[in-house]
Amino acid sequence: MRSVSIVGQGLTRFGERWDKSLRELVAEAGLAAVKDSGIDGHKIEAVYGGTMASGRLIGQEHIGALIADQMGLNPLPAHRMEAACASGSIALRNAMLAIASGEHDIVAVGGVEKMTEVDAGEVSTALGGAGDQETELFHGATFPALYALMARRHMKEYGTTEEQMATVSVKNHKNAMDNPYAQFHKEFTLDQVMNSGYVASPLKLLDCSPITDGAAAVILAATDVAKKYSEQPIEIIGSGQASGTIALTGRKNLTGIEATTIASKIAFEKAKLTQKDVDFAEVHDCFTIAEIMAIEDLGFFKKGEGGKATEQGKTAMDGEIPINTSGGLKGKGHPVGATGVAQAIEAVQQLQNKAGKRQIKDANIGLTHNVGGSGATVVVNLYRRAQ
């Protein structure tokens, strides 16, 4: 298999984007990525686009073709990839595999979601389709409720506290202050998070990622080709994907996501690295408990110790392993189809030393972790500067 690298990246500002339609967001991120790569757009050979619910949210399907059209890339092959909130990551992964296999040399990857055109109830129902419609959504269990169940079990088994979960929110909102593309530029105190009102107990408003519009795009190339264009291509040195049960009822336990453990094991084995080699990680903090479970399931902390580690500052910008330097889904925002691609962009910016005030000193290896649904799809990628 050939080595694959990211040679260009483009992001829109995340948030309530009344000023731009879905196709305009796609064009903004896509054209920025092509410009950043320095590659003539006509050299791109295929497009992979991730979106979760564009049909339900704005009535637009056939997003692969729309992205190719908006970017002026017809008639090349265009694909839509969907795996709920991991749609962006499976678009990235399948594009990577298309290059690794030798089929293509240069491929564009996009992720997009326009979520604020309908009311929050309708968004919640659309997102709920990422779980099990029959056994969960039909009975009113939308995503805050599903993650609340996991949080309660984690609290019972490991003594994790609501304050520890709130610390994740305080940290990620703080990190987002230095990200110009983030939805929120507002710091919150622990008290403010604790008093923000229950959405699904024990999760409060400020434990939840928000509803967001936004797009992200990267250009991938075979690493030998990438070196002709970019001064510093970022190589994807390990990638793992795994599936788990669609419903929580099928899980052996609720205190973690098994697909995360499996996907990360594959990624680390491929990269021939261990957790100790990783300098920073972007993990899927759709709810604060999700970040605590992720840092345990990825092997950065022992099971049950994620809450304590967060409270002790081990995941802060100056901690042992900075988590969600971009602000994460919590502070940066979570346009579901775009999130996986945006996580890869944070890895690129950190490794290219272009993360501005968020820059981690001497960052050599980065990890991204993207979850679809309550853990039915997980993708973990490892990155470093191409050698």
Q: Is 273 in the site for ligand COA (CB under 6 A)?
A: no
Peptide bond into 144 cis (omega under 30): no
- Check 79, 85, 104, 286 and give the catalytic one: 85
Q: Is 238 in the site for ligand COA (CB under 6 A)?
A: no
Which of 177, 183, 383, 369 lies closest to 279, judged by CA?
383
Residues of the chain by 3-state class (helix, strand, coil), percent to 5: 40, 20, 40
Q: Which range, of 37-45, 209-217, 219-227, 346-354, touches ligand COA by CB under 6 A?
A: 209-217
User: What minimum distance in Å lies between the beta carbon of 127 and ligand COA?
Assistant: 5
Angle at which helices 143-158 and 288-297 pack, to 10 degrees?
60
Torsion over CA: 384, 12, 190, 205 (sign): negative
Number of residues that bind ligand COA (CB under 6 A): 15
Binder among 210, 240, 322, 328 for ligand COA (CB under 6 A): 210
Using DSSP, state whether 129 is helix, strand or coil: coil
Alpha carbon distance 300, 306 (integer Å): 9
Count other C-beta atoms under 10 Å from residue 59's C-beta.
8
Alpha carbon distance 179, 169 (integer Å): 15
**Catalytic residue at 104?**
no
Q: Is 205 in the site for ligand COA (CB under 6 A)?
A: yes
C-beta of 1 vs 190, nearer to ligand COA: 190
Q: Provide the Cα torsion 145, 147, 151, 153; round to 10°.
A: 80
C-beta of 8 vs 210, nearer to ligand COA: 210
Angle at which helices 120-128 and 143-158 pack, to 10 degrees?
70
Binder among 60, 94, 124, 364 for ligand COA (CB under 6 A): 124
User: What minimum distance in Å lies between the beta carbon of 26 and ligand COA?
Assistant: 21
User: What minimum distance in Å lies between the beta carbon of 167 and ligand COA?
Assistant: 15
- Check 79, 104, 154, 334 and give the catalytic one: 334
Count other C-beta atoms under 10 Å from residue 17's C-beta.
23
Binder among 286, 338, 351, 386 for ligand COA (CB under 6 A): 286
- 30, 110 Cβ separation under 8 angstroms: yes
Count other C-beta atoms under 10 Å from residue 277's C-beta.
14
The contact pattern for ligand COA, residues 163-202, with x = CB under 6 A and - = no contact, is: ------------------------------------x---
**Catalytic residue at 42?**
no
User: What minimum distance in Å lies between the beta carbon of 11 and ligand COA?
Assistant: 19
Residue with tokens 């609290």: 155
Binder among 14, 48, 143, 268 for ligand COA (CB under 6 A): 143
The contact pattern for ligand COA, residues 81-120, with x = CB under 6 A and - = no contact, is: ----x----------------------------------x
Residue ranges in contact with ligand COA by CB under 6 A: 85, 120, 124, 127, 143-144, 199, 205-206, 208-211, 286, 334
Active site positions, annotated: 85, 334
